[in-house]
Chains A and B, each alone.
Chain A
Amino acid sequence: MDYLDNIAFAILLVLGIGFFVKNINKLTRNIKLGKDIDRSDNKKARWKNMAMVAIGQSKMVKKPIAGVLHIIVYAGFIIVNIEVIEIIIDGLFGTHRVLSFLGGFYNFLIGSFELIAFLVLITVIIFWIRRMVIRIPRFWNKEMKGFPKNDALYILYFEMVLMSLFLLMNATDVHFQDMNSGNLISQFLSPLFNSFAPESLHIIERSAWWIHITGILVFLNYLYYSKHLHILLAFPNTFYANLNAKGKFNNLEAVTNEVKLMMDPNIDPFAAVPEGAENQVPGKFGASDVTDLNWVQLMNAYTCTECGRCTSACPANQTGKELSPRAIMMKTRDRLEEVGENISKNGELVDDGKQLLNDYISPEELWACTSCNACVEECPVNIDPLSIIIDMRRYLVMEQSAAPQELNMMMTNIENNGAPWQYNQMDRLNWKDE
């Protein structure tokens, strides 16, 4: 009968990790729905990028207050989770504080965990105040209604509860408090329980222990449904991020081939179609749905933690336009999830009559962009909303001829006289004599 706890724990652990693995598989399947793009070059620069931007949080501290607070939670997340190793061993084998044989070092570790847990708790409360009391505008844009707003709050509540449980668990551990070493924070909590009988204390300690580990496993499985996925994806996302100058937009290779054919005087326009190519459907130019985007763009969408730094820096958004780079990422993810669900249900993608363009992202949003790269510059995890906007503009212009009328005139001018305005190319040097 003594093993009941351990069996229950093992089942809980297997379920928790099992569901998580299932979700990760779904996540990778969905990301792989994207088109191929080669980001295997320049490994050294990529590792450096990841070390600086994801591990080193270099772009987070561009906003110093949020940056430093975030580093506390980030450090806390990594350090406090070392404690989870002990919890898992204790849970599986029925031991209690199995690592305490480390003696003074153990107490030093637990003391640091307590301090970090306390700092995280305070920080998360500050985060909540920034969001709900100070109401920092970027948390209140119109795309932050409903689930996105609640999602952010759930995460904060989760962290508050988990950190409190950890401290409570230590405060009610009579043996641990008796050692009076490593109880850096919990020693101030334990007097609150002075009047409790030892049995009640034991029950509280055990409950806190169980709820804490259960909470961690639930949180782990909440990630896939939440903006909080960034704690995992920030690393690959910075690794595979664009390394070129931000102003360099990719040249569509399919177009290069077409243009070369058009410009080559030796090409026979009446040449027979090559054998076997008669039924080939020409590729689509640009993107109208998530499957037209590349996998890095789709990973970007899952990585976005909806902090809104992009949107608050966006000149279009600042001046009241419909465009919000954060919403571009959120809508891409929502549509990708919908496509993923569709595949899970039907075994393959069955046309649902919807697409990313129009059903999620409107042309008005796309045409408000000045391609200024402020969103790309701001993103603390190197997400590139601009590349999605441009790919969708390409679809609008090259597949649908649906550019705004004034842009069509500009493009006609370039075609006819080599300038966006109606001036004759032969007049290009007139300024010299004016």
Chain B
Amino acid sequence: MNVPTMAEMMAQGKQPEVLFWVGCAGSFDDRAKKITKAFVKILNKANVDFAVLGTEESCSGDPAKRAGNEFLFQMQAMTNIEILNAYEVKKIVTACPHCFNTLKNEYPELGGVYEVMHHTELLKSLVDEGRITIEGGEFNGKKITFHDPCYLGRSNDIYEAPRELIKQLDAELVEMKHCKSNGLCCGAGGAQMFKDAEKGTKEINVERTEQAIEVKPDIIATGCPFCNTMMTDGVKITNKEDTIEVLDIAELIANANKL
């Protein structure tokens, strides 16, 4: 696995095509690290000229902002922007819709203007440009349903890129009753990931997992490390872990291509 950092690139006088913003979950969460690696393997395979910030990366500030701590958010944002601008970053890709939304929509007013892509968008363009081909065999005959991350779907109107990729897998894409703009949240957004749910009658991730189970999928695909955690937990709670896998789009493609 080849993972150059921006600092190394700069030392060699190189400017990568795109910065891969790994995000906190992708860096530290054991489950999400697998997504990070799967995505890097695809980038390596497609010879994408990329780099990461490594130890110079810090939280985008999303959970602080959604929790209402605008001070902390803006401190994080401005610190990150200083680093990104110092490296003259133009294009960013991330596998986390929360980082994606924050970098894309909330950084520009604070001086950080970049072209920001979600990893499913970049993967889609790699397929379109023929830089990678997706081998279908692995998922032949499998039913895959896609859970829309709120910060990718409703927040930024990106519904098709992940679906286009699933269709390339020779798998059957089955839609839940509530999908795309009507998709139900996994329960992690708005900083809920970091706290217990308020008092209620049910956990949101269980509700959402049950909606997925209704369409009898073999795989629940998603494009967000937090959705992944919530749906994985949901599958465990509903005792479906033997029959349903929860995988990121990047993992699906890496698995299909046996990377």
Contacts and interface: CB of A to CB of B under 8 A. Distances in A.
A66 to B, nearest CB: 15
Contact of A372 (B101, B154, B157): B154
A397 B67 contact: yes
Q: A interface, how many residues as a size bin? A: 35 or more
Nearest to B71: A255
Q: B interface, how many residues as a size bin? A: 35 or more
B67 A249 contact: no
A420 to B, nearest CB: 5
Q: Which of B54, B58, B69, B157 has the most CB of A within 10 A?
A: B69
B109 interface: yes
Nearest to B178: A313
Interface stretch (B22-30, B136-144, B163-171): B22-30
Nearest to A430: B27
Interface string A298-318: 000000000000000101101
B200 A319 contact: yes
B86 interface: no
Given A263-B78, A420-B63, A431-B27, A374 B154 contact: yes
* Secondary structure type dominating chain A contacts: helix
Given A315-B204, A377-B154, A429-B5, A286 B24 contact: no
A247 B105 CA distance: 7
A315 B184 CA distance: 6
B185 A411 contact: no
B156 interface: yes
Interface string B61-80: 10111111111101110110
B126 to A, nearest CB: 21
A211 interface: no
Contacts of A112: none
B33 to A, nearest CB: 4
B185 A247 contact: no
A61 B105 CA distance: 29
B203 to A, nearest CB: 7
B185 to A, nearest CB: 4
25 contacts: A251-B109, A259-B78, A313-B182, A319-B201, A319-B207, A320-B200, A322-B200, A368-B197, A371-B66, A371-B191, A372-B154, A372-B190, A374-B150, A397-B67, A398-B68, A410-B63, A411-B67, A414-B63, A414-B76, A420-B59, A423-B27, A425-B58, A431-B26, A431-B36, A434-B33
Given A315-B184, A322-B199, 13 more contacts: A245-B104, A259-B74, A315-B208, A316-B198, A318-B204, A367-B198, A370-B187, A377-B182, A394-B69, A398-B69, A410-B191, A411-B69, A418-B24
Interface of A: 244-249, 251-252, 255-256, 258-260, 262-263, 285-286, 313, 315-316, 318-323, 364, 367-374, 376-377, 390, 392-398, 403-404, 406-407, 409-411, 414-415, 418-421, 423, 425-432, 434
